[in-house]
Amino acid sequence: MDTLYYQLHELWGRLQGPLGLAAVVLICLVPVTVLMFNRSKWAVLTVILYVAGLGRPLVGGSFFKLVSFLQPLVTASRPLITFLFLVLLLPALRVQGDNWRKRLWLAGTVLFCVFEFALALRDIFGGSMDRGVLSLINFALIFLVLVVGVSRWIQSVADAEDAIKCVCAASILFVIGTAAQIASGSDYLLNSRLTATAANPNFAAEAITAGLPATLYMIVRKGRSPVWRIVAAGAAGLLLLMLVWTGSRGGAFRCLIALFIMFRRRMGSFIIAGTAIGLVVYGSLALYGSQIQLGRILTFTDTRSAVWFTLLRGFLENPVFGIGSESVGSENSYLMAASHAGLMALGPLLFGVAMIVQSLIKMRPRRTELGDNALLLDMAAAGIVSVVAGAFFDGYLTANFSPILFTFFIYLAILAFVRDGLDTFGSASYESADRLEGPAQLDGVSGSHQEPVYG
């Protein structure tokens, strides 16, 4: 809560200057643009994903020093994200015609949201009223926009790819911002580890791995324009180099899981994409290679077990409701949830994860029905599994605003779309006249909502 107060204070100070006029124009222009141009909602979501990955206030109250043109964004990050979520509420709740979807979200997604609400309620009833109410509002906005809204927006493969482009574009912005940060000589290292524009190496790794599956999708997906492939390959190469530079072992673990799931059946695509990305990495090493140290990312030094035991003790003190804000440590999302809010949060979290994994297992035998769009399923699975597995080593699942959490919901929305399409148009209750003739036609489906997209 102190962070929000500090940000609002800094924001008010900036609004007294020339930035005030720009803020007024933004407040008026963005909602009008979203209402007039339907596709602009994806651009707004891209900004949310990017701003969520910017630096946070450091210990002592000062903000991480960003390159000048990004500094206003970080000092107003939380108010800005909240405002943009509010802007997206109307398109999120607006009824759309010709909606063929039966399942807008997975049951596991709803349980995951219940887990987030449980964290907020624990703070409210535990005495941290301001923090709890703010978290409750944030989680409600996240649910309405990223769960209800994005699921309603995805009515075709083209819509799903708009969501993927949105995540990929946020990653490209992260690369550009980090390159500017390094070139300007601003702070970008902490003990020889890359902080990028995130103020913390581990948080930087979260921002990198959040968008990596979507970026890789844009490289290997058939039918993509050469421009998208080249830009995505350049971004992916720099993202992987930056990930190594952060020294985050949790980030490396998530990356390996994502790569395995996406390319386990696509060795040819892996070799082609790997060659293109490798060339980018090789060229970048000429610029940054002397600063990158591999020692930490390859070490097996135990830096987590002490925190795990501390979190476990907090859970055992009060297994039902946890110990609230007194919980210390962020090295494991599941133990952190247990320590913070006990079984009231851990229960829905574990059941939600289990149901999401169950959905992935059920869809696995039906990959062949998707044709070329099996990559869509594998990309979503890569993003989801890497997050839930990596959460054993990082506490990001308990965060309010986090790029890895936001993209997690987008990947879940894409997964729900794929499963809904398989179940709806793969059932005997639909006649062939209501279905597309074959998977090959899926690539050409427009973003309209006039016809089903799965054959």
- Confidence band, pLDDT 50/70/90 cuts, at residue 283: confident
pLDDT for res 455: 33
pLDDT for res 445: 36
Cα angle 357-362-365, degrees, rounded to a multiple of 5: 125
Read off the pLDDT of each residue in 13-38 and give the average, rounded to a whole number: 72
3-state SS, the chain, equals CHHHHHHHHHHHHHHCCCHHHHHHHHHHHHHHHHHHCCCHHHHHHHHHHHHHCCCCECCCCCECCCCHHHHHHHHCHHHHHHHHHHHHHHHHHCCCCCCCCCCCCCHHHHHHHHHHHHHHHHHHHCCCHHHHHHHHHHHHHHHHHHHHHHHHHCCCHHHHHHHHHHHHHHHHHHHHHHHHHHHHCCCCEECCEECCCCCCHHHHHHHHHHHHHHHHHHHHCCCCCHHHHHHHHHHHHHHHHHHHHHCCHHHHHHHHHHHHHHHCCCHHHHHHHHHHHHHHHHHHHHHHHHHCCCHHHHCCCCCCHHHHHHHHHHHHHCCCCCCHHHCCCCCCHHHHHHHHHCHHHHHHHHHHHHHHHHHHHHHHHHHHHHHHHHHHHHHHHHHHHHHHHHCCCCCHHHCCCCHHHHHHHHHHHHHHHHHHHHHHHCCCCCCHHHCCCCHHHHHHCCCCCCCCCCC
pLDDT for res 99: 72
Of these ranges, 273-287, 312-326, 334-348, 411-425, the one predicted with the greatest mean pLDDT is 334-348
pLDDT for res 17: 59
Angstrom distance (rounded) from CA 53 to CA 210: 10
Q: 331 pLDDT exceeds 70? A: yes
Query: Is the C-alpha dihedral spanning 267, 271, 273, 274 positive or negative?
Result: positive
pLDDT for res 55: 79
- Confidence band, pLDDT 50/70/90 cuts, at residue 80: confident
Cα angle 224-96-90, degrees, rounded to a multiple of 5: 95
pLDDT for res 386: 96
Among the listed ranges 57-61, 161-165, 449-453, which one has the minimum average pLDDT value?
A: 449-453
Angstrom distance (rounded) from CA 376 to CA 366: 13
pLDDT for res 150: 94
pLDDT in tens, 34-44: 888 888 999 99
Q: 2 pLDDT exceeds 70? A: no
Of these ranges, 17-26, 286-295, 307-316, 424-433, the one predicted with the greatest mean pLDDT is 307-316
pLDDT for res 47: 94
Reference 170, options 27, 65, 73; nearest CA is 73
Q: What is the pTM of this model?
A: 0.88
Beta-bridge partner residues of 63: 57
Among the listed ranges 7-11, 206-210, 400-404, which one has the minimum average pLDDT value?
A: 7-11
Q: 144 pLDDT exceeds 80? A: yes
pLDDT for res 72: 77
Percent of the chain exceeding pLDDT 70 equals: 84
Q: 442 pLDDT exceeds 60? A: no
Whole-number mean pLDDT of the chain? 83
- Confidence band, pLDDT 50/70/90 cuts, at residue 453: very low
pLDDT for res 372: 82
pLDDT in tens, 426-440: 643 333 323 323 333
44 or 325: which leads in pLDDT: 44
Q: 132 pLDDT exceeds 70? A: yes
- Confidence band, pLDDT 50/70/90 cuts, at residue 7: low
257 or 367: which leads in pLDDT: 257
pLDDT for res 440: 34
- Are 426 and 229 in contact, with CB atoms under 8 Å apart? no
Q: 263 pLDDT exceeds 70? A: yes
Reference 236, options 168, 292, 287; nearest CA is 168
Domain boundaries, the chain: 2-444
pLDDT for res 57: 62
- Are 150 and 143 in contact, with CB atoms under 8 Å apart? no
Percent of the chain exceeding pLDDT 90 equals: 45
Read off the pLDDT of each residue in 405-433 and give the average, rounded to a whole number: 77
